[in-house]
Amino acid sequence: MATILYQDQFLPRDRGRVDMEDRGYQFGDGIYEAIRVYGGRLFLLDLHMKRLERSAGELRLQLPYSIGHLTDNLQTLIEKNKIDDGLIYFQITRGAAPRKHLFPEGAESVLTGSAINLPRRSAPGEAGIKVSLIDDIRWLRCDIKTLNLLGNVLAKQEAHEQGSEEAILHRGNTVTEGSSCNVFIVKEGRLVTHPADHFILNGITRLFVLGLAKKLSIPVEERLFSTEELFSADEVFITSTGAEVTPVVRIDNQLIAGGRPGAVARRLIDAFNEEVARIRTAALS
């Protein structure tokens, strides 16, 4: 049976329980991170932990453990679950207290975490995916990685019911991001993606891909782009911890780049794969 993390303890999955008055359960009052694991190692760990600290700061939520201690526990969780390529999910809530909106006094933050095996490219992956364009109805602090994901959940469900893998969200004429990913377009060899402001989550994979683009001398523009630019792009792709770089080949009923992944996405995927191969080799030595 899988091992989970509850506060500082490792427990069998069926012993994981949270209080019914946990504020994560009642208000979505908490934060989370999902970190990729390659070759048993936490990928881009420091960036995830920085984002976690930022999310906690924005919500004035106390982290229950130091980042060092938390990292040790996550690494142990990987080992206990024998994860090679996988995903670690953990969340921290403001704790359990009688249901009142105000921050409770004296409640202790509650941390829970789990690990799953996630082989690379289990999704449609490199062949490209179909997405749906959906209205972005979320709140105005999408930069915080909170447990409040109802706007994202509804968008993803609507996309799924339209036969799509993912929802690309727009506010008015502006494309923001996906329901659980960031969105890039390519026009005349230049990458364009929404700037990291309050309207999107600054994805760790987004940051990593921006770094890869720099190394590959691919010009980047972090600026607003419109739904018209999305549909007329030479290429579209999404990025996330789980999906890595995944080309989009169809949006609603329109083919993108003739329905095949484009050359810029290919270069980024190759560079991504090289980085993962390097990490795996380092993990073995």
Ligand X SMILES: Cc1ncc(COP(=O)(O)O)c(C=O)c1O
Residues marked as catalytic: 145
Minimum distance between the CB of residue 239 and ligand X, rounded to whole angstroms? Answer: 6
Q: Which of 70, 78, 88, 204 binds ligand X (CB under 6 A)?
A: 204
* 23 near ligand X, judged by CB under 6 A: no
d(CA 128, CA 108): 44
Pick from 232, 231, 271, 266: which is nearest to 247 by CA?
266
Minimum distance between the CB of residue 21 and ligand X, rounded to whole angstroms? Answer: 26
* 182 near ligand X, judged by CB under 6 A: yes
* 176 near ligand X, judged by CB under 6 A: no
* 206 near ligand X, judged by CB under 6 A: yes
Q: Which of 52, 191, 201, 251 binds ligand X (CB under 6 A)?
A: 201
> How far, in whole angstroms, is CA 235 from its chain's centroid?
21
Pick from 32, 16, 11, 204: which is nearest to 109 by CA?
32
Please, how many CA atoms are within 13 Å of residue 177, restricted to the half-sphere of its CB? Answer: 24
Q: How many residues bind ligand X (CB under 6 A)?
A: 14
Q: What are phi and psi of 161, to 5 degrees?
A: -70, -15
Minimum distance between the CB of residue 9 and ligand X, rounded to whole angstroms? Answer: 26
* Residue number with CB closer to ligand X (167 or 233): 167
Task: Please report, in angstroms and rounded to a whole number, the separation of the first and last CA atoms in the chain.
Answer: 29
d(CA 16, CA 51): 26
Question: Which residues, 106 to 165, sit near ligand X by CB under 6 A?
Answer: 152
Question: Which residues, 75 to 104, sit near ligand X by CB under 6 A?
Answer: none
Minimum distance between the CB of residue 202 and ligand X, rounded to whole angstroms? Answer: 8
Q: Which of 49, 241, 245, 248 binds ligand X (CB under 6 A)?
A: 241
Q: Check if the beta carbon of residue 159 is closer than 8 Å to that of residue 132.
A: yes
In sequence order, what are the residues at sequence separation of 6 or more whose Cβ sits closer than 8 angstroms to the Cβ of residue 36?
42, 43, 44, 86, 87, 118, 241, 242
> Looking at 67-75, 89-97, 189-197, 234-242, which segment touches ligand X (CB under 6 A)?
234-242
> Looking at 117-125, 191-199, 203-211, 263-271, which segment touches ligand X (CB under 6 A)?
203-211
Minimum distance between the CB of residue 196 and ligand X, rounded to whole angstroms? Answer: 10
In sequence order, what are the residues at sequence separation of 6 or more whose Cβ sits closer than 8 angstroms to the Cβ of residue 56?
31, 62, 63, 92
* Residue number with CB closer to ligand X (3 or 176): 176
Interacting residue ranges for ligand X, rule: CB under 6 A: 34, 152, 177, 180-182, 201, 203-206, 239-241
